[in-house]
Amino acid sequence: MKLYHGSNQEIIKPDIAFSKKFLDFGKGFYLTSFQEQAEKWALRKAARLSGNPTINVYNLPENFSDYKVCSFETENELWLDFVCKCRKGEEINQQFDIVMGRVANDDIFKTIDMYFKNLWTKEKVLLELRYYQENNQICIINQQLIEKELIFIKSYTV
């Protein structure tokens, strides 16, 4: 499958050591199947850190039978709990090689923040999340999987 990573530079060989910890699915290398979403990530990162907004394009085989995969098909209670724990720094993602699901972007995180502050119930948050634009993210946690399976195709600037 073709995947995209938005950055402020070309990344031929991703290294998880450079990843941040307090992200939706914890520390890992993040990709998306949505090119436009990666372009937004690249523009945002380049604006924050300088550099050129760059889209890195990769190929990843779709057969993950040799790996431990956690896939959230929808924003459900399990997804919400997982994202909240990872955003708080809990390393629950370490039991997996890959985690896939929706992005808790700034708009979505505002909704999740209402839950963090005990202003909304889980049910209310999950109901609200249904109205946000479709997106996805694939977080590769296992560096060996990156080295063995993820193939760099090209990069381009936005």
Residue scoring higher pLDDT (90 or 74): 90
Residue-level pLDDT at 13: 97
Stretch 7-23: mean pLDDT: 95
Number of domains in the chain: 1
What does the mean pLDDT of the chain come to?
A: 91
Q: What is the mean pLDDT of residues 19-38?
A: 95
User: CA-to-CA distance for 79 and 69, rounded, in angstroms?
Assistant: 14
What is the reported pLDDT for 114?
83
Cβ-proximal residues to 23 (8 Å cutoff; 6+ apart), any chain? 30, 86, 87, 139
Residues above pLDDT 90, as percent of the chain: 67
- At 133 the pLDDT is 66
Whether 76 shows a pLDDT value over 90: the answer reads: no
Is 132 a residue whose pLDDT tops 80? no
| Dist CA 88 CA 145 (whole Å) | 25
Quote the domain boundaries for residue 67: 2-157
Overall average pLDDT of the 50-62 stretch: 96
Most confident by average pLDDT, 38-52, 71-85, 100-114: 38-52
Q: What is the pLDDT of residue 112?
A: 75
119 in Cβ contact with 13 (< 8 Å): no
Rounded mean pLDDT of 108-127? 81
Residue 7 confidence class, pLDDT cut points 50, 70, 90 = very high
- How far is the C-alpha of 28 from the C-alpha of 20, rounded, in Å? 8
Give the 3-state secondary structure of residue 102.
coil
